[in-house]
């Protein structure tokens, strides 16, 4: 007689009930889990605040007197010019935290656990990015308080109001959320949290420094200025300076500098749609 061995068929993974409502509920559950984890590790928020505060102090008090904005090297003018750039840099540098967090969840098997549950596929990444957005908002709030303490005064160059200032912070959070999806894609594409930390931040340095964040782009060589004027990061910085009433608005004829608010919205939404699609596709293929 020949023994016939049969392998029991693998049961299919449970699937979530279709629908936007289910996806939203699943995303909020994952976001809540990450926010609770954040409260248990307050160092995550603390270290996220220390770095931009150091940038504020260094650029304001070390480089402030040597930076020319328009026709002046007044440190007070540079201080008001600088803050929009520091705010934008802070929200984009949060990308590294998203990359490392997702890579850590992948390495520890938490993502595999989520996959075994009947939940919407994109909810894991959406919940993670929403929680990171909440952390970025807290960091931005603390940084704004620090900026006011060191002398940042909205409306120092042009009249503004509370609504415009809030609109500026809204653009910053939208840019930060869009960049978080780049971090999600990087976190899914590497094997360790250490690689995700390096890969999540190294490309941000040229993006933030080849811009109008820290120096007036009119002082750059023509080819560098062209790059800076069309840099998505520069569009948000220019829009924030316009809404905050800060000095140093670029006089470039480039379209993003002439219409910074629209350019900032278009760039951020485009980045969000493209990288969310790529990240969710990567997540599904690795399941």
C-alpha distances in Å from residue 138, one per residue of 72, 90, 144? 34, 11, 10
Query: Considering the chain, what percentage of its residues have pLDDT values greater than 70?
Result: 92
The answer, yes or no, to whether residue 207 has pLDDT greater than 70, is yes
DSSP string covering 49-110, please? HHHHHHHHHHHHHTSGGG--BTTB--HHHHHHHHHHHHHHHHHHHTHHHHHHHHHHHHHHTH
Q: What is the pLDDT of residues 246-283, one digit of tens each?
A: 998 988 899 999 999 999 999 999 999 999 999 988 88
Do you know the residue count of the chain? 287
Model pTM score: 0.86
Name which of 167, 156, 149 is nearest 53 in CA terms.
Answer: 149
**Cα–Cα distance, 241 to 185 (Å, whole number):** 30
pLDDT at 194 over 50: yes
How does residue 2 score in pLDDT terms, banded at 50, 70 and 90?
very low
pLDDT by residue (tens digit) across 116-166?
777 777 788 888 899 889 989 988 998 999 889 888 999 988 899 999 999
Q: 1-10, 108-117, 188-197, 204-213: lowest mean pLDDT where? A: 1-10
pLDDT above 50 (res 3) = no
Residue 264 corresponds to which tokens in the numbers above?
């900032």
């Amino acid at each position: 007689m020949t023994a016939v061995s049969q392998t029991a068929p693998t049961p299919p993974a449970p699937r979530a009930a279709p629908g936007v409502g289910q996806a939203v509920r699943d995303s909020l559950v994952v976001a809540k889990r990450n926010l609770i984890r954040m409260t248990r590790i307050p160092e995550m928020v603390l270290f996220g605040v220390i770095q931009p505060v150091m940038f504020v102090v260094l650029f304001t008090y070390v480089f402030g007197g040597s930076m020319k904005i328009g026709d002046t090297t007044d440190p007070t003018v540079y201080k008001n010019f600088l803050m929009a750039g520091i705010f934008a840099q802070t929200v984009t540098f949060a990308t590294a935290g998203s990359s490392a967090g997702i890579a850590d969840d992948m390495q520890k098997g938490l993502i595999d656990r989520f996959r075994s549950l009947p939940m919407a596929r994109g909810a894991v990444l959406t919940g993670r990015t929403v929680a990171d957005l909440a952390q970025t908002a807290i960091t931005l709030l603390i940084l704004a308080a620090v900026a006011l303490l060191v002398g940042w005064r909205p409306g120092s160059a042009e009249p503004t109001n509370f609504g415009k200032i809030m609109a500026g912070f809204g653009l910053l959070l939208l840019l930060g959320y869009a960049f978080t999806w780049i971090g999600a894609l990087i976190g899914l594409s590497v094997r360790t949290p250490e690689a995700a930390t390096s890969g999540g931040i190294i490309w941000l340095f040229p993006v933030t420094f080849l811009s109008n964040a820290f120096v007036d782009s009119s002082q750059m060589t023509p080819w560098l200025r062209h790059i800076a004027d069309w840099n998505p990061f520069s569009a948000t910085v220019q829009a924030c300076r316009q809404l905050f009433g800060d000095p140093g608005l670029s006089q470039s004829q480039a379209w993003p500098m002439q219409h910074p608010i629209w350019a900032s919205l278009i760039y951020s939404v485009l980045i969000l749609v493209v990288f969310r699609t790529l990240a969710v596709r990567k997540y599904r293929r690795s399941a």
